[in-house]
Chain A
Amino acid sequence: ETGVTQSPTHLIKTRGQQVTLRCSSQSGHNTVSWYQQALGQGPQFIFQYYREEENGRGNFPPRFSGLQFPNYSSELNVNALELDDSALYLCASSHTRGLAGGVYNEQFFGPGTRLTVL
């Protein structure tokens, strides 16, 4: 069983550019969540995709957008890059069995993409 993979591993961009990060979810998983981890901080939730639709969003501006594809892989797009966007971007996949209470859907994390904005 293949785990969660992310590409690229590292990326350097300049302010104002756009970037696309990619995530392949674990086999059998239908949900992908994206997190931003700034240096020295805990990960912060960006958004989650379930069955190709955004299923929840954290406190991030609209220039952070995403997609989920029919095979449940996902992309994170960031437009108009700012210096503060420099961070480790983590993708986590899970299998959502239902939205009712008491159903735990474990998230499995990929190794991350480290984005540096100069």
Chain B
Amino acid sequence: AQSVTQLGSHVSVSEGALVLLRCNYSSSVPPYLFWYVQYPNQGLQLLLKYTTGATLVKGINGFEAEFKKSETSFHLTKPSAHMSDAAEYFCAVSQNTGFQKLVFGTGTRLLVSP
């Protein structure tokens, strides 16, 4: 079975500050890991993914995440927050064999103040 834990249902930062959203996963098989963003009243947009290879992955809008197997973590970072980054962020895991269902965390709402 797979699961995802996102620490902090809300994270508040000032514009220009570092963004750090935490994600820990549990998986009995090698995982694929994802971060999705959801703006109000919209569907999910893929920010970035880890499948194989380099453990530091870069995504859209200046976000990046690092897969740390020893810590079972996949934290999302961005050096400098913009007002447009305010949204809900979901970490997700899937297995890398067979059919791939996404298991999501409960989400972290990022609030950006001027």
Contacts and interface: CB of A to CB of B under 8 A. Distances in A.
A48 B101 contact: yes
B72 interface: no
B92 to A, nearest CB: 8
A100 interface: yes
Main SS at interface, chain B? loop
A89 to B, nearest CB: 10
Main SS at interface, chain A? loop
A48 B78 CA distance: 33
A58 B107 CA distance: 19
Interface size range of chain A in the complex: 20 to 34
Nearest to A105: B100
Interface string B43-63: 111100101100000000000
Contacts of A16: none
Contacts of B77: none
Interface string A80-117: 00000000001010101001111111110111101000
A7 interface: no
Given A96-B99, A101-B96, A42 B105 contact: yes
Contact of B43 (A31, A45, A94, A110): A110
B90 interface: yes
Contact of B107 (A41, A56, A114): A41
Interface of A: 31, 33, 35, 40-45, 48, 50, 55-56, 58, 90, 92, 94, 96, 99-107, 109-112, 114
21 contacts: A42-B4, A42-B92, A42-B106, A43-B44, A43-B102, A44-B104, A45-B103, A50-B99, A56-B99, A92-B102, A94-B100, A99-B99, A101-B97, A102-B97, A104-B32, A104-B49, A104-B51, A104-B96, A104-B100, A106-B49, A109-B43
